[in-house]
Chains A and B, each alone.
With several copies, the nearest count.
Chain A
Amino acid sequence: MNLIIEILINQLTILFALIMAVFLGFELISKVPTVLHTPLMSGANAISGVVIIGAIILVRSSGSEDYLSLFFGSLAILLGTINVVGGHAVTNRMLQMFRKK
């Protein structure tokens, strides 16, 4: 319990951001027409690929002999990039259909 409070206090920024983000997320999404649910989900999914930045930092700050980190990190970058690039590309294709023939 203490641990959690400690974390909360230390990460006040995050907490604020979280609250704001929740409200913002709600306001942004609540008026979305149902047809956009899937594209939106797909777009959000692409954004969640932001985790590759962590992977990049991991690899960059690893020693060149730290094979474990290098392997895990590179694989993470690979997968994350697929997520990001593929996600945005697929979203884009889905949204094509809103451009009337």
Chain B
Amino acid sequence: MTALINLVYLISVTLFIIGLQRLSSPKTASSGNLIAALGMGFGVLIALISPVESGDGNYFFISGALILGGGIGLLVSTRVIMTKMPEMVSLFNGLGGACALLISIAELLNFHYLETFELASYLTTLLALLIGSIAFSGSLVAYGKLSGKIKDSWKLPRANMINMGLLLTLMGISFYQLQTLESMELVILIAILSLLYGITFVLNVGGADMPVIISILNALTGVSAALAGIIYDNMIMLMGGILVGSSGAILTILMCQAMNRSLINVLAGGFGGEVGIAAQVGDQTVKEVNIMDASIMLRYSTNVVIVPGYGMAVAQAQKICKELEDLLEEVEVNVRYAIHPVAGRMPGHMNVLLAEADVDYAKLLDLDDANKFLKETDVAIVVGANDVVNPSALDDPGSPIFGMPVLEILKGKHVIVLKRSMSSGYSGIENPLFFHEKTSMLFGDAKKSLNNLLDELKTTV
């Protein structure tokens, strides 16, 4: 019978897989989420109606909990504002961990009444308890940190030692419990210690590394679900859990890569150190953007402005700018060029190059028009320009170029700056634009960066 049910669960698992697959591309992600949800609904349905060996059904409790939980979930998720999403995910993840924690405790309690006593099953359940607890408490701490309820400065001294100690103690007690199998108190102790470990594990991770930690905790919840699946010999839990566990693990690694950090680094950070995500220049930080994010930002924009400067000329990147324009226009993104009067090194420098690349004159905006258009701009790509987009000309009376008309690039929503380094332009003065929160830097030769961007964009268009 279990086998037949499992066969039916297969449908759910398949839907999970399809869902995850679709979730990994921008075009299909939305439907992927729905498909996964469908799989889940179907699984729950089967769990509700499939025959069980014993028990009284207790549908009152079940439906009550389902309705209540569903209501809360919906309510919370529709109310939360966009910027609070990550902490929400963390919170939900904690609840999943709690779920695993609760059922494994219940099962462990039940073990004493079962006739057949399998060591392997017991070990599995114990592991589910352990991992579920860590996921639960860890996620809550992550939630607290992200929402600001727990201050980043609340750090444990010698966290490294404490974590190690806790882990060793946990393993010792678990081993002992496996030998004796008797004391229910030890099980409770294991749960408490696991919860504690979850807290200390997460508490010391730097704020910027939080997403990575959440991903780890997410994977752990998956693993605990899979372990619970073993307990119940239930395919959907098992497979769903494994899928989440494995994809979560890989996602963790990818996130580290995207942040240019190694996992060990993040965890080491978690064990005491503090490493920020952004590069440090003097006492200011600049934010780097990777090609993928940049390409998605562009892809889903309505208006994009390309701001060419001397660097575009040096890189001879005019033709690729035009290609970028063509590609974006193809997906109905509006592209304009903002030509500053003194961009480049001779009057009309940009015009000459863009004409060579066959850019339509009608797409060239001069300073005034550009500044108007910038207000409605989603992304401004600065291709090797510097002085002509220096906001100190607007707001820093101490600047040597104060009063010079510049492109008011910060009127747009996002700015991506393509240049090779942090070095300054013709005027030799620093540019606060690069440190602005709206700005992301894409370092490297402009032609190369644009080429990469183009290749990436082609995969999503």
Contact = CB atoms under 8 A, between A and B. Distances in A.
Interface of A: 3, 6-12, 14-64, 68-70, 72-101
B65 A77 contact: yes
B47 to A, nearest CB: 4
B69 A78 contact: yes
Contacts of B100: 51, 54, 76
B237 A54 contact: yes
Determine the main DSSP class of B at the interface with A.
helix
Nearest to B31: A95
Interface in B22-36: 23-27, 29-30, 32-34, 36
A6 B73 contact: no
Contacts of A60: 47-48, 52, 55, 57-59, 62
A17 B58 CA distance: 33
Contacts of B245: 21
Nearest to B69: A81
Contact of A76 (B52, B99, B109, B290): B99
B45 to A, nearest CB: 10
A82 B76 contact: yes
Q: Top 7 closest A-B pairs, CB basis?
A: A81-B69, A85-B73, A86-B73, A61-B55, A25-B246, A34-B292, A33-B459
Interface in B113-161: 119-120, 123-124
B106 A73 contact: yes
Contact of B58 (A10, A37, A59, A91): A59
A48 B55 contact: no
A31 B460 CA distance: 11
B44 A63 contact: no
19 contacts: A6-B120, A9-B7, A22-B246, A32-B254, A38-B85, A43-B20, A44-B247, A50-B240, A50-B241, A54-B103, A59-B62, A76-B103, A79-B102, A82-B73, A84-B40, A84-B69, A87-B77, A87-B92, A94-B85
A64 B25 CA distance: 46
A60 B443 CA distance: 58
A42 B258 CA distance: 18
B99 A8 contact: no
Which of B98, B214, B230 has the most C-beta atoms of chain A within 10 angstroms of its own C-beta? B98
B357 interface: no
Interface stretch (B221-229, B316-324, B362-370): B221-229
B110 to A, nearest CB: 7
A89 B73 contact: yes
Given A92-B30, A92-B33, 15 more contacts: A33-B456, A34-B292, A36-B29, A43-B20, A49-B99, A53-B237, A57-B234, A60-B55, A72-B105, A77-B65, A81-B69, A82-B70, A89-B78, A92-B34, A93-B85
A20 to B, nearest CB: 8
Nearest to A54: B228
Nearest to B297: A35
B249 interface: yes
B96 A83 contact: yes
A59 B228 contact: no
Contacts of B44: 52-53, 56, 84
Contacts of A101: 302
B4 interface: yes
Contacts of A79: 69, 95-96, 98-99, 102
